[in-house]
């Protein structure tokens, strides 16, 4: 375990922007601590101010009140150039470059460290090679960006941020538009980077389930509420994770680890292994299946697979969910 030193913190931070001399506050009274060697996920609905928060942390937007403290000094005391050596980012901005190779793009990360002409020392090349190795993109090194898939491109952008060599890595929705495998890979890669490179990694994401699997800390942002910072497991057990689902119709199910419809549903009596009954409940609920009055019990068996619908008079057997559904609806 790397040392979990706090590198970035804030208290009483007000976020927003100034428009024609008037401050428009987006979020108030935000306290947080970002730790090295930990993967932190920032979650919250669209429009709650996640982007404003990370822009403020990046030093691109001044805080309306309070301040972000980087290593004992407020962010405002650092120049853009000094900040660029501490904080690297992966943004949602589309990058479409045809003539640039992966290696060249990752090298762009060294810009804050090179001389005015941008010539790379052997140390710069070592850092670029390291970043490429950590993100497992060595096989792409000489490819041109237009030849990459979205998932590969995202890894290249992460490598570029790594090459920038700051202690803080901020990623704005790095897994949006990616397929399931790539989402898992990217998030696990980020966790590995936090642990092995001892970086403070902050990820804005909407992938709750993958975030629970990988993050050390969650920051939950919800309109009008203070920022909730805790381990995801604590948030689940205390039920605070449901802050993300304010409407009340959806609820986080702490057993399945999924978000489900929270309105109560009257299931018939079901017998069998939880592994199977959960899916049976799902298909019943999803299709609002109605059963005969005389239904006594539905039992489900795994090997061989069998759904037994037992009524007072008759008993029906099905060997697949599909057959079960077709007969009942």
Partner 1 sequence: MKNKPNYFLLFSVGIISCIVVFMVNLSIGSVSIPVSEIGMSFFGNEFSRKSWEIIVFDYRIPKAFTAVLAGITLSVSGLQMQTFFRNPLAGPFVLGISSGAGLGVALLVMAGSAFGLSFFSGGFGLWAVVFAASIGAILVLLLMSLTAWRVKDSMTLLIVGLMFGSLAGAIVSVLSYFSDANQLKVYTVWSMGSLGSTHSGQLELFFFASILGIIPVLIFIKSYNAMLLGEAYAKSMGVNIHRLRWAMIISTGILAGSATAFCGPIAFIGIAVPHMARLIFKTGDHRILFPASALMGAIVLLMCDAISQIPGSAQTLPINAVTSLVGAPMVIWLILKRNFSKEF
Closer residue to partner 1, CB minimum distance, 110 or 218: 110
CB 165 to partner 1: min, Å: 12
- Choice between 58 and 220, CB closer to partner 1: 58
Pick the closer one to partner 1 by CB: 24 or 97.
97
CB nearer to partner 1: pick between 58 and 208:
58
Q: In angstroms, what is the minimal distance from the CB of 108 to partner 1?
A: 6
Binding residues for partner 1 (CB under 8 A): 58, 60, 79-85, 87-89, 91, 93, 95-101, 104, 108-109, 111-112, 114, 116-118, 142-144, 146, 164
CA angle (141 as vertex; 136, 143 as ends), nearest 5: 125
Closer to partner 1 by Cβ: residue 11 or 114? 114
User: Is the peptide bond between 304 and the residue preceding it cis, with omega within 30 degrees of 0?
Assistant: yes
Residue 1 beta carbon to partner 1: minimum distance, rounded to whole angstroms: 29
CB-nearer residue toward partner 1: 83 or 211: 83
Q: How far is the CB of 64 from partner 1 (least distance, A)?
A: 18
What are the residues whose beta carbons fall under 8 Å from the beta carbon of 88, sequence distance 6 or more? 109, 160, 161, 162, 164, 165, 166, 168, 169, 170
Nearest to 319 by CA among 304, 298, 329, 299: 304
Handedness of CA 254, 259, 260, 264 (dihedral sign): positive
Q: What residues contact residue 61 under an 8 Å CB cut-off, 6+ apart?
A: 15, 17, 52, 55
Judged on CB neighbours under 10 Å (0-12, 13-18, 19+), 313 is exposed
Task: Tell me how far, at minimum, the Cβ of 119 lies from partner 1, in Å.
Answer: 8
Q: How far is the CB of 51 from partner 1 (least distance, A)?
A: 11
| Closest distance of CB 92 from partner 1, Å | 9
3-state secondary structure 12-68: EEEEEEEECCEEEEEEEEEEEEEECCEEEEEECCCCCCHHHHHHHHCCCCCCCEEEE
Instruction: Give the Cα-Cα-Cα angle 151, 157, 161 (nearest 5 degrees).
Output: 145
CA 34, CA 323: separation in Å to the nearest integer?
Answer: 52
Closest approach of partner 1 to the CB of residue 146, in Å: 5
As measured in angstroms, the least distance from the Cβ of 3 to partner 1 is 26
Specify the residue for token string 């929705």. Answer: 173
Q: Which residue, 95 or 297, has its beta carbon nearer to partner 1?
A: 95
Please report the sign of the dihedral spanned by the C-alpha atoms of residue 61, residue 62, residue 67, residue 72: positive
Question: Tokens representing 237?
Answer: 């057990």
At 309, give phi and psi (nearest 5°): -105, 110
Q: Which is nearer to partner 1, 61 or 289 (CB)?
A: 61
- The nearer residue to partner 1, 150 or 292, going by C-beta atoms, is 150
Tokens of 308: 């037994």
């Amino acid at each position: 375990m790397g040392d979990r030193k706090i590198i970035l913190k804030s208290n009483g931070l007000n976020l927003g922007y100034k428009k024609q001399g008037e401050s428009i506050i987006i979020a108030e009274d935000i306290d947080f601590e970002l730790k090295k060697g930990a993967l932190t996920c920032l979650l919250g609905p669209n429009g709650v101010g996640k982007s404003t928060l990370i822009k403020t942390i990046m030093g691109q937007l001044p805080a309306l009140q309070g301040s972000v403290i980087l290593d004992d000094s407020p962010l405002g005391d650092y120049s853009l150039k000094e900040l660029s050596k501490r904080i690297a980012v992966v943004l949602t901005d589309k990058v479409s470059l045809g003539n640039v190779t992966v290696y060249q793009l990752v090298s762009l990360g060294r810009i804050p460290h090179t001389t005015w002409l941008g010539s790379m020392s052997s140390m710069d090349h070592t850092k670029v090679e390291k970043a490429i190795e950590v993100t497992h993109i060595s096989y792409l090194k000489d490819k041109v960006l237009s030849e990459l898939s979205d998932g590969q491109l995202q890894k290249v952008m992460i490598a570029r941020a790594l090459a920038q060599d700051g202690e803080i890595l901020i990623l704005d929705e790095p897994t949006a538009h990616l397929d399931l495998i790539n989402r898992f890979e990217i998030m696990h890669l980020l966790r590995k980077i936090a642990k092995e490179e001892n970086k403070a990694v902050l990820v804005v994401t909407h992938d709750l389930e993958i975030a629970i699997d990988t993050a050390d800390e969650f920051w939950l942002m919800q309109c009008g509420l203070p920022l909730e910072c805790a381990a995801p497991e604590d948030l689940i057990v205390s039920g605070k994770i449901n802050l993300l689902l304010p409407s009340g119709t959806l609820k986080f199910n702490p057993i399945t680890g999924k978000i489900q419809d929270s309105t109560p549903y009257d299931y018939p009596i079901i017998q069998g292994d939880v592994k199977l009954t959960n899916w049976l409940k799902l298909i019943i609920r999803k299709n609002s299946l109605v059963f005969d009055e005389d239904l006594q019990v539905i039992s489900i068996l795994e090997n061989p697979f069998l759904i037994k619908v037992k009524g007072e008079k008759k008993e029906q057997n099905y060997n697949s969910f599909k057959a079960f559904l077709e007969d009942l609806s």
